[in-house]
Structure 1
């Protein structure tokens, strides 16, 4: 009888802990209601805007290399560290640093305003200006230091760099090895700075319509923060050893039940 009384006292406590640890499916699954989603074609043509401190690789070429040479910087070999926040390998690059006012110093052409422009905009501008000197110039341009950070309830928080010039929120989360089970998927915070002005936006990735959000694609230096859900917060309030308590309590109940049956 003593064991039975103890079992009755412990069971509600165990059920309470298990209740706190349960997460509804709707709070975990991504892209819900995607069958009702209407796509927006303009997102497929999204381009990031160039910002101060961006490193641009710009190479000008022509049928006669000697004619294009004055429009290129002297090649410099750069050794990258290979860390998450750097491009790997040793490469020869024509790198231009965008200053705080959004300008670069370009050979022959002088100061050019590129801040706030897309890659396509800058290419058109360069083709027009260089086209005065060179017939049919070929211009290649890439943003070399596109980076973002992912913080909070993800498996691998940190600062990440990518070789491409755009990345989606889901791809960024994948870089951080996805959200933990404790990540709040319906209220992801994205902090963005444009021309010195910070903006904040919340995104719900459990609903498919976030694909049409202006924050579906990340911008340079975006910060993605994933809040802990109520289970993580409640677990912290109960104590860091909740899992151990549940396991020990379950074992104790099993032993008591076995003893009662003997």
Structure 2
């Protein structure tokens, strides 16, 4: 009777051990994106996000009119006689750039479109240029993606905005060790830092204030429990199978001998 009780108790402990091991493995809910999105569901994008100019931004500014000779003072090449790049302009700690003829122009906090309109207004009010076309582009728009992604790094951005999904795509997407539900975006604007968490397993990510990134945003993907413990999902399952097999073999030997 005591041996029978011992065997049953042993099997009970073995089953609990197996259940514990299996419960510690990752599930689909840990890795699937946009889990609450329904079939044929339509989400209207009402986001009107536009990146605003920050302290430390570096801009390329090109001015054109019908008479290109009058725009030469504003389109200065980096090297005299060169057909290469034009000089760029740094937004200083007071929010200004030092622009030819116009002098100090305050740009911090404006969108690219607002900055273009400001230049046009200054050119026309000062009777400097007629019907000018102003082209302004970022030269230092980049984002950093770090943590549990396949290719962490600093990625340059062409254009005026990029979504967090696109940035993670540039970094090769999250690895199996990355948490999808707690991604951190660190943003620096005018000397202040903001910290915002994003959950990629929910469709609400599209409504996040950091869905569209700004210049020099930092995205950090937190490692999941399996990564912290030093084991990936596959190796962890292999370990569980090995341990379970060992315990079962030991149990069979014990039962056979008794």
TM-score by length of 1: 0.78
Q: Distance in 2 between matches of 1:138 and 1:155?
A: 42
For 1:165, the equivalent position in structure 2 comes to 160
Listed as ranges, the matches of 1:1-262 within 5 Å are 13=17, 16-23=20-27, 25-35=28-38, 38-41=43-46, 43=47, 45-76=48-79, 92-131=85-124, 132-233=127-228, 235-236=229-230, 242=236, 245-246=239-240, 248-249=242-243
Q: Distance in 2 between matches of 1:180 and 1:112?
A: 45
Once the 2 structures are TM-superposed, how far is the Cα of residue 63 of structure 1 from its aligned partner?
1.3
Q: Distance in 1 between matches of 2:75 and 2:248?
A: 76
Q: Distance in 2 between matches of 1:59 and 1:160?
A: 25
Structure 2 unmatched ranges of 5 or more: 1-6
Once the 2 structures are TM-superposed, how far is the Cα of residue 38 of structure 1 from its aligned partner?
4.1
Aligned length: 238
Q: Which of 1 and 2 has higher RCO (CA within 8 Å, sep 6+)?
A: 1
CA contact (8 A) 2:54 2:109 kept: yes
SS in 1 for 2:72: helix
CA contact (8 A) 1:39 1:212 kept: no
CA contact (8 A) 1:37 1:208 kept: no
Farther-moved stretch of structure 1 (104-113 vs 144-153): 144-153
CA contact (8 A) 2:58 2:138 kept: yes
CA RMSD of aligned residues (A): 3.2
SS in 2 for 1:245: helix
TM-score by length of 2: 0.79
SS in 1 for 2:73: helix
Q: Distance in 2 between matches of 1:224 and 1:188?
A: 7
Structure of higher CA gyration radius: 2
